[in-house]
């Protein structure tokens, strides 16, 4: 175990004590120096952003900071555990990416890697399995796409085809209509799959690789035609993939890289059976043969434990202060009764349009619990003069895509959404996330508010807390305290009540940072009792500050946040304690995902 890159001044990197059982000698690493921001103009927000920011500033809740990206020095604790972890890369070139991929990185305007990219890329390039936990909006997509695309390009070039001989492509004249991708990226929603597909295409530009996407809700015909032309990298939602494999249109036998984005969501109760089917029963190479990578902003220990079934001697990284949401998000919580919510919302929207040109609204994402409420609120807002759209699982895919487009473009700057929009979606310039209905779990809260405050930009999140949300109180207090936000006294009182906060995962009472799911569960005192003296702690930990990347500034990633929330009502607080007790892994593991629409039917709820 070592602290990499201590610059001797304790500034750029700091040594963080790290428990180690059997630590192999660390690989020497140069002191990574934060890349200076070039041009001096990087922190100028585009006019649109500034305008949006001003609107939210009018709320007096801060957070958007005039649209400026906060480039002040941040301490970014990074923890790496697992045997023989490679050192982080100082830049994209140092990560050893293929030339063609480096050119694409430059085309994207990425000047330097974000912290999670610095750590993850060398691990993936070294052929290692990885579980990576880093905060929302910190660049996880590129952290897996870049090394995977690079790994796919290399053998294709070596085969003399400059990439055109990619394995996933059907030979001309072949009657084999089965696509055999070498890389598979699984994502929980259609919109997220589409987004990853776009990113992967950018990074594969002029490499000769074919990137194809497959998700439900649209006719399969076009996707199949695309696949017939070959697929080196397939991005898919689980349901559509299973369908295609069962129809023998996709074979997973050539998979070299398997990535699960939003991995904790993919492995919770809703998706796990499908994932197990894909990974274990569909001819995919065994975990010792393929390379598996899991990414999320939240990784509760019980999901980590499950996930380890899919991984082979993996490295765990957590980038960012464990248990924090990003510092870039101003969080505000209002106590409201259900009957007051609409009035509160209207006030909020009126206030935030003050000072905006033509009383325009900044991009505002409003989360509600049910599909019905999403529609109803959208129409009501419309009737009050606020152009709003809605995205949820009862809308057709075409409607969902058009809603997202309309929101992104600002044509309807308010979007009412269920949890289908809570994970992964990267809509630049979302200024305000409003949790009209709070989610059931603190993880879902973290992902939802993470739709703002992305890529170094600041944002605001407001939550309406009703009596029925009491199980979330403890998790919220912990999260806001971690993020150094003011916690309302009434919320603390809720959290302090023995039962409130105790029955959700938010109050499950894992000790210290373990409870946030941002730490390698193999470090828990119980781990290893059955597995012998496994030297899990061979990594390092460090901190960086002053990171700035590309044309954006970054603050550090944030580890996962406490607790499975969900459905806590069925569990008395005795199950988990009301805080302070240690998590007991020996007890049967129960985890209750919160389904967006209050249903346990994954496809009906709009997840794929």
Q: What is the binding site for ligand ATP (CB under 6 A)?
A: 110, 113-114, 117, 136-142, 297, 424, 426, 450, 454-455, 549-550, 552
Instruction: Encode 254-292: b = buried (16+ Cβ within 10 Å), e = exposed.
Output: bbbbbbbbbbbbbbbebbbebbeebbeebebeebeebbb
Q: How many other CB atoms are there within 10 angstroms of residue 62's CB atom?
A: 13
* Sign of the CA dihedral with 56 first, then 62, 456, and 344 last: negative
Q: C-beta of 136: minimal distance to ligand ATP in Å? A: 4
Q: What is the distance between the alpha carbons of residues 557 and 519, in angstroms, rounded to a whole number?
A: 13
Q: Residue 205 contacts by C-beta under 8 Å, 6 or more apart in sequence?
A: 104, 107
The overall longest dimension of the chain from CA atoms, in Å, is 71
Q: Residue 291 contacts by C-beta under 8 Å, 6 or more apart in sequence?
A: 124, 127, 128, 129, 256, 257, 258
Q: What is the distance between the alpha carbons of residues 303 and 316, in angstroms, rounded to a whole number?
A: 13
Q: C-beta of 137: minimal distance to ligand ATP in Å? A: 5
Residue whose C-beta lies closest to ligand ATP: 550
Phi, psi of 201 (to 5 degrees): -65, -40
Q: Are strands 552-553 and 548-549 parallel, antiparallel or unpaired?
A: antiparallel
Phi, psi of 376 (to 5 degrees): -65, -45
Phi, psi of 237 (to 5 degrees): -90, 150
| Comparison of 257 and 576: residue with beta carbon closer to ligand ATP | 257
Q: What is the distance between the alpha carbons of residues 262 and 267, in angstroms, rounded to a whole number?
A: 9
Q: Are 235 and 213 in contact (CB under 8 A)?
A: yes
CA 259-262-267 angle, to 5 degrees, is 85
| Comparison of 297 and 495: residue with beta carbon closer to ligand ATP | 297
Q: C-beta of 445: minimal distance to ligand ATP in Å? A: 13
Q: How many other CB atoms are there within 10 angstroms of residue 94's CB atom?
A: 16
| Comparison of 353 and 441: residue with beta carbon closer to ligand ATP | 441
Q: What is the distance between the alpha carbons of residues 400 and 416, in angstroms, rounded to a whole number?
A: 11
Q: C-beta of 449: minimal distance to ligand ATP in Å? A: 10
Q: What is the distance between the alpha carbons of residues 418 and 427, in angstroms, rounded to a whole number?
A: 16
Q: C-beta of 138: minimal distance to ligand ATP in Å? A: 4
Q: C-beta of 126: minimal distance to ligand ATP in Å? A: 20
Q: Give strand pairing partners of 552.
A: 549
Q: C-beta of 469: minimal distance to ligand ATP in Å? A: 23
Q: C-beta of 450: minimal distance to ligand ATP in Å? A: 5
Alpha helices by DSSP H, listed for 21-139, are 47-57, 99-107, 115-125
**Pick from 560, 562, 567: which is nearest to 471 by CA?**
567
The Cα-based distances of 341 to 256, 355, 370, 414 in angstroms read 50, 24, 15, 16
Q: C-beta of 132: minimal distance to ligand ATP in Å? A: 10
Q: C-beta of 406: minimal distance to ligand ATP in Å? A: 19
| Comparison of 199 and 373: residue with beta carbon closer to ligand ATP | 199
Q: C-beta of 145: minimal distance to ligand ATP in Å? A: 8
Q: C-beta of 168: minimal distance to ligand ATP in Å? A: 23
Q: Residue 250 contacts by C-beta under 8 Å, 6 or more apart in sequence?
A: 178, 179, 180, 181, 214, 227, 231, 234, 241, 244
Q: Are 264 and 298 in contact (CB under 8 A)?
A: yes
| Comparison of 240 and 451: residue with beta carbon closer to ligand ATP | 451
| Comparison of 37 and 341: residue with beta carbon closer to ligand ATP | 37
| Comparison of 141 and 513: residue with beta carbon closer to ligand ATP | 141
């Amino acid at each position: 175990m070592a602290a990499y890159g201590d610059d001797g001044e304790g500034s750029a990197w700091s040594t963080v004590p790290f428990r180690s059982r059997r630590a192999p000698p660390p690989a020497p690493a140069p002191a990574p120096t934060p890349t200076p921001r070039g041009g001096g103009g990087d922190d100028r927000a585009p006019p649109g952003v500034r305008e949006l920011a001003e609107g939210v500033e009018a709320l007096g809740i801060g957070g958007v900071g005039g649209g400026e990206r906060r480039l002040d020095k941040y301490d970014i604790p990074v923890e790496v555990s697992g045997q023989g972890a490679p050192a982080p890369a100082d830049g994209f070139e140092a990560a050893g990416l293929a030339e063609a991929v480096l050119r694409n990185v430059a085309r994207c305007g990425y000047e330097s890697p974000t912290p999670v990219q610095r750590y993850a890329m060398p691990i993936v390039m070294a052929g290692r399995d990885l579980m990576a936990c880093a905060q929302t909006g910190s660049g996880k997509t590129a952290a897996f796409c870049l090394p995977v695309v690079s790994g796919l390009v290399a053998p294709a070039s070596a085969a003399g085809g400059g990439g055109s001989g990619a394995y996933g492509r059907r030979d001309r004249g072949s009657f084999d209509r089965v696509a055999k991708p070498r890389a598979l990226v699984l994502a929980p929603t259609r919109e997220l799959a589409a987004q990853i597909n776009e990113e992967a295409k950018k990074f594969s530009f002029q490499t000769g690789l074919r990137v194809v996407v497959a998700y439900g809700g649209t006719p399969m015909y076009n996707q199949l035609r695309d696949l017939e032309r070959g697929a080196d990298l397939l991005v898919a939602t689980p349901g559509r993939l299973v369908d295609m494999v069962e129809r023998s249109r996709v074979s997973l036998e050539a998979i070299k890289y398997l990535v699960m984005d939003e991995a904790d969501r993919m492995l919770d109760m809703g998706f796990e059976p499908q994932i197990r089917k894909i990974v274990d029963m569909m001819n995919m190479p065994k975990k010792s043969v393929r390379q598996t990578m899991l990414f999320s902003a939240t990784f509760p220990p019980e999901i980590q434990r499950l996930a380890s079934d899919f991984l082979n001697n993996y490295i765990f990284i957590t980038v960012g202060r464990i248990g924090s949401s990003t510092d870039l998000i101003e969080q505000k919580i209002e106590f409201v009764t259900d009957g007051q919510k609409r009035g509160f919302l209207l006030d909020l929207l009126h206030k935030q349009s003050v000072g905006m040109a033509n009383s325009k609204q900044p991009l505002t994402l409003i989360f509600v619990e049910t599909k019905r409420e999403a529609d109803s609120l959208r129409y009501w807002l419309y009737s009050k003069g606020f152009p709003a759209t809605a995205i949820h699982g009862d809308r057709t895919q075409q409607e969902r895509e058009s809603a997202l487009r309309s929101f992104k473009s600002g044509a309807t700057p308010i979007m009412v959404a269920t949890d289908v929009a809570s994970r992964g979606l990267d809509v630049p310039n979302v200024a305000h996330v409003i949790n009209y209905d709070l989610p059931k779990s603190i993880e879902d809260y973290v992902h939802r508010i993470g739709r703002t405050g992305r890529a170094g930009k600041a944002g605001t999140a407001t939550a309406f807390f009703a009596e029925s949300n009491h199980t979330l109180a403890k998790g919220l207090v912990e999260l806001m305290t971690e993020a150094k936000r003011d916690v309302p006294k009434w919320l603390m009182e809720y959290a302090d009540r023995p039962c409130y906060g105790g029955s959700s995962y938010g109050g499950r009472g894992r000790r210290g940072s373990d409870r946030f799911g941002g730490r390698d569960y193999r470090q828990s005192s119980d781990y290893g009792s059955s597995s012998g003296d496994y030297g899990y702690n061979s990594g390092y930990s460090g901190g960086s500050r002053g990171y700035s990347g590309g044309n954006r500034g970054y603050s550090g990633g944030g580890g996962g946040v406490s607790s499975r929330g969900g459905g806590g009502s069925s569990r008395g607080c005795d199950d988990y304690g009301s805080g302070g007790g240690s998590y007991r892994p020996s007890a049967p593991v129960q985890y209750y995902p919160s389904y967006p629409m209050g249903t346990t039917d994954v496809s009906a709820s709009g997840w794929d």
